[in-house]
Structure 1
Amino acid sequence: MDLSEDSGLQPILFGLFLSMYLVTVLGNLLIILAVSSDSHHHTPMYLFLSNLSLIDIYFTSTTVPKMLVNIQIHSRAISYVGCLTQMSLFVFFACMESLLLTAMAYDRFVAICHPLHYQIIMNPHFCGFLVFLSLWFSLLDSQLHNLITLHFGYFKDVEISNFFCDPSQIFYLACPETFTKNMVRYFLGDFYGFVPISGIFFSYFKIVSSILRIPSAGGKFKVFFTCGSHLAVVCLFYGSAIGVYLFSNMSSSNRKDAVASVMYTVVTPMLNPLIYSLRNRDIKNTLRRIHSRRVKSESVVSIWYVGCNC
């Protein structure tokens, strides 16, 4: 399904989404470069951040390139296998991002509530285990979606009321029985949605309780500032997803549902690196150093060329 039937808007939509996609990829690549190039960033918090940036690139790449191709060739078609593949990848990376945000919340909880034991608890082996656990549960979730869809039926020549193969839309087409459809949706939604949100809520409840015990206002602000970027990303990711879910239930317009889905599939991955680069002083300083080294190297090369011409 296209976001607009107006053929005159198609070039504008193509340029808009291409620009947003490039900003998303380049912004997250800069975060990965900043983390990997500075040894001071080889800590659990930045390990999770670099993995989150990588997942954001993959997450937006499951939907936007196909949408751009559809706009260019003026086609809305996608094969059955392609639709299942896109749905599987979308579920995998969305679940991976959710679980990584939960791991980052736990990291902040340990750093603030148990600072003396932080190095012992958040050791490299445990951090790697958390990433592996997130990977395994995400893979399980995506395969469950595929197995359930394949089990309930085969469909073709149908229209999906979104610009990508939304899992909720696929379930609606694949599961004719309302009871079965609702049971599957609520089971997967509760387990893979409620559990991460509960973990994040519990972590920040403990963090806020610890912050309130700090006597000075400056100390409270300094401690809470370390969680600001992560909390902003969490609110953006879950807020947009929940907003789209509620909006789709209240709205009868399929086109409005598709437009609302753009928020968490395209806009959120684009804003994540901006939030971390703007609010994180260490990331900003590292990016400045990378830029200054590049400028110096370019000036040295240009001076060398001038000397050769002489």
Structure 2
Amino acid sequence: MSADRLKLRHLRCFLAVFRSGGISAAAEALSLSQPAVTKTLKELESILGSRLIERGRGTAKLTIQGEVFMPRAAACIKELDRAVESVMAADSKMEWHIHIGSMPSTETSLVPAAVSIVQQDVPAAVVRISTGPLKYLATMLLDDQIDLVVGHMPALDQMVGLTFEHLYVEPFLFVVRHDHPLASARPCDVGALKKFEMILPENSPSDNAHVARLLAAIGLTDDITDRIVAMAPAFVRAFLLQSDAICVVPEGMFMRELATGELTALAIDTSHSLSPVGVILKEDAEIKPPIEVMRRAFHAASKNREKPGRWSAPD
């Protein structure tokens, strides 16, 4: 006898006859004809080489071999049903949830695109998003309060206990409103920047390695006194549109506004400020299915960033 010849229909048919007490009742429960049920039982008995059910007029009774086989067949079907239920539960609102941390640079671009992809694949997914600076999100990640972080690569001394999965690189830009006094300058006079209020992502440029490199490369130092410390996209956008302030931000933060012309980047070479963007995980994190789905969504979304409809979910 080879178990490979056994089919689920054999087990389900056998159990239906046992539970209903007869061929006719089992056929009705399975929505099959009586001859089909009888044929399936004979196939099972032939595979096992033993008679499992004594058939009488309108009744069916287990043989000794049937009594031995029944609980194991029932356990097999029960485990299979549990396996199916667990997979279905992974897509339910009760089970499929993930908490991600987003730095401001990805809050308005990569994250919405990735979440859209996840919703297409798992309509019942619950995605919770927390935003904030790297130090805050990294602490939450290490404390198991969130599942992953997406944003710019931390400095090496901030990577203790963390791993970084690269997605793409992007520059930091000097961004202003479209009709700013310096908006049309080609090239822009770097010395003129000090005449305007600056919005920086940290209290001083030296607090952010990427900004520090950028400002040093163009000849600006840490002595910028007229500044606002902010990275909340909604506030920065609103303040830029109503003032002559200049903001130093990653390209992805205002990609849509730059594409529509609502905001513009000053004509200053910032190619030397390229910064890696990726997914940050706890070093010993268990990669559960929701985390893996979210990681793949970030990869899929990042591939669209150079297309005309930037950050849109793929077809």
Superposition TM-score, scaled by structure 1 size: 0.23
Specify which structure has the bigger relative contact order, considering alpha-carbon pairs within 8 angstroms and separated by 6 or more residues: 1
Q: Which has the higher helix share?
A: 1
Q: Which has the higher strand share?
A: 2
